[in-house]
């Protein structure tokens, strides 16, 4: 029981750190990599959304491959961490979350969940292939 709770806390934290790290990179490289037409936010440019979702996908896949008990459902916990970080960043960034925040939160959260679950599933399958399942 304790190990499961600890694993989920780690997955949640990895999700938070993954989104926060991706956002920090986007802010630093916004005009060079993502066009810079709008304020730095992962849904303000398709390439920024792809970058953030790829980061979540890779983090989820790696976490699922590393764990002996890695299961695709771990992607949900990692996605929840990424969504929590997304929410914090939206409220802390200059200008606040904006008037369409509920829509942004729902769409961004759905993208995070799909990306994370897909990464966890592929990581789980890759671990099984390596082990000779």
Q: Which residues of the chain have pLDDT under 50?
A: none
Contacts of residue 61, Cβ cutoff 8 Å, sequence gap at least 6: 119, 120, 122, 123, 126
> CA–CA separation, 22 vs 2, rounded Å?
30
The SS3 call for residue 45 is coil
Q: Tell me how many domains the chain contains.
A: 1
The candidate with the shortest Cα–Cα distance to 8, out of 77, 81, 109, is: 77
Q: For residue 59, what are its two tokens?
A: 């983090």
Model pLDDT, residue 124:
85
Model pLDDT, residue 131:
65
- pTM for the whole thing? 0.88
Model pLDDT, residue 81:
97
Q: Is 32 exposed, middle or buried (0-12, 13-18, 19+ CB in 10 A)?
A: exposed
State the residue range of the domain holding 35: 2-131
CB–CB of 72/121 below 8 Å?
A: yes
């Amino acid at each position: 029981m304790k190990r499961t709770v600890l694993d989920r806390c780690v997955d949640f934290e990895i999700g938070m750190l993954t989104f926060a790290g991706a956002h920090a990179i986007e802010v630093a490289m916004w005009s060079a990599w993502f066009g810079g037409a709008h304020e730095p936010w992962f849904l303000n440019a398709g390439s920024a959304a792809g970058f953030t979702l790829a980061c979540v996908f890779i983090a989820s896949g790696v976490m699922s491959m590393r764990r002996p008990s890695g299961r695709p459902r771990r992607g949900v916990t990692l996605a929840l961490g990424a969504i929590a970080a997304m929410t914090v960043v939206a409220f802390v960034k200059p200008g606040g979350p904006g008037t369409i925040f509920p829509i942004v939160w729902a769409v961004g959260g759905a993208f995070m969940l799909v990306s994370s679950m897909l990464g966890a599933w592929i990581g789980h399958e890759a671990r099984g292939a390596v082990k000779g399942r």
